[in-house]
Structure 1
């Protein structure tokens, strides 16, 4: 431990031969709960989960990893090793140095006490040094509210979500794995027929040789290694141009990834203790403030494909419960209307109009009564594309139209909703001047290449500058909802348990008898999340669905 002026930084190390875990917990209990002593850790979520297993809770606390994230999102990493070097030019003892690597690696409880102590004490020491350095900077940069209202209070919510885990039906995964294996076998056979020989479809080197040398497909380019690139960016345009071979290769890759990442891997990731899959949510995973998920990544299961939905069917509720999925409807589009002050769209959202049909009508001068699904589809692509800074080329590719036609669509859209064009230009100007953009709650998202001489990098940064305030504000709103959710549910006497967050969606496990009451309360908490800090002119809308499995609930 390291102590300085009321601060207490800690790193938990077990040494059962020296003192029993129960005795240590009893000795620390009063200190960890003492309201006059701030407990400081780097990645407190992990430490809190470990201590919770021993019946210890921590309050009050600070997390130097989150402090760093709030000030430097998009600039650098936030691991303790990197920050110790960045701020103090100190190289930390690595985990590998104390536990070894490969077959020689030992578990931490077998590390000699002197080595374990040096490793843990250094962590505590530099967590405290970081706190003393970063705390005044948070104040100076006016980021205290972002840290104290959006980041720090989210720690126990996410820790509880990870601990809860989600039930997975092995039988559903096994059946889907078998189905994917059959489809992969058929695709592979088709690919071999088109190639005129057998080869390893999963080998980029072999695939490049077959596509560009043997089959003579145009568009191949060799990298520094002398091998052809077969990345998605290289192959996708060929597939869109109608090349059957490349289309089948991309289909094969997509199914192969689903099989290896989910249907085959998930059963191995079920905890023998709980019978559930426990993902890890990173609180510093994205520059915009979004959470990220890993081991396994449960935020990346496709929702729009039948294969992805089949995998989601494997995520189920416990006996007597259902999964309740509640997500924000078109939140980034609503926030774009808010940020730019687009009166026509704000009014349309208030009236509950079909926003894509409305924009199609206004941009393409088509009466609502004569609206076709194709015209609406084009408007929808522009609506969502614009807030991601889509180019004429990108829209053309998405809609299967010419670049000039796509560019004219974007011009017509921005002419009709000129407030959005003005907001986009002013946002880019702010980013060029300051190197960052802000969400409506004051979160900063750094945009490093906004003044880059390289046109491609600069264009990418400009797209990021436009989308980050919207995606970031949506992430902030979701965090506020998550932070308020435990007290709201407990206050209403409801037993809904938060299991997953997938950006704009929350997934709960809820007793069947409480579904309706839980859905109404959760929607209300989500819709009111910006208040009282932020009063939006545009209404937020949360939609709920429930079922025994995740696919049918969403």
Structure 2
């Protein structure tokens, strides 16, 4: 709620606080300002407001202002009798800044006589016109809000054109190029509703062939494996999900079980024999002309390799996110989906249970598995559409293409084959590194003029931007100075020796 509007509250006018979902009447105003609503502007004129550039009177806040107005009745009466104030500093400020107090009063008083040409009935709450609302939001480039509203209204934003919005005193800049188109495409993709009930369960080989043909035609397919363990070296492949377009996904059950035991008299689960399915999928998963998309491809790479498939070429949305937004938070699929798509995926525990009742994925009923696994593939493909165009636009392509992505197969091979460790050699290297680190830390202390822990982002930030007062600092949500790699690299390029040393 806007405190400046509280001066309008009366016995017949209330203010609605949408954040706390409550009505603000005279009693609430009196609790906040210490005066009745008609005296709010008097207190504001004394206390001022730096946010709104209201100067007020130095040394007087809301509490003191309320005491003075309650004692003297009005601002003018207070200023006229300022000489009676017992506190010397307060008396001096009221006399010296009387003109400033009167100016502040004029600034905070709202004009109640503005002509209103629209009838009161036009202000009633009405259901929004989806096309007009989405068109308006698109015109203002409120991308995240457009996506959220579209999902709530069940509207596909793709065919909706941005409205022509008249502006006074501002001219929209020319588009910067493909980057703007990428942003619009990302918004449209995020706005397509995620419907887990729309995903297909593939239990027949001819249906699997149809999906494989569709993936070849698309040239891009999102792939996700479902297994019975987080240990990729031991996990048994239970099923595979594919997505060929946002909202278009399927799940291929391979080794689901009806119960945790022999269950010889239990119902048979309809699924394609795993060897037959993998034989059909292998040409697609290894096809050089089809890009495979995964979230944490290293895990899936292990699973496919152990089943005789060398999957590639591929993109990894987890690594794309890391290359673009390494310091913004986690890079798991659920968190990325909430951050970029404003959608919370189905939690694993919702279908597999928790604690003693938890079961492995092979025991999850196939309909539930389809909703969960299909959504994983669908969301991963959507994230790829959002993240991949940013690589070139934000000059992160080299990091991803030459470092992050190639390491997936390298690390996977290392984990699968194991490495020979020269323990004595590593011990020598550790000693060398410790000496080198100690020398660098000593140099950092000399450059800073004090001892501090260079490994502490908080202490390093205080030295660089607090003590040294360097430009380019920005604070995180916690209020601490950011010292991520980009900040330090920028300072190092600008010749800051401490940043170069760290």
TM-score scaled by length of structure 1: 0.36
For the pair shown, the structure with the greater C-alpha radius of gyration is 2
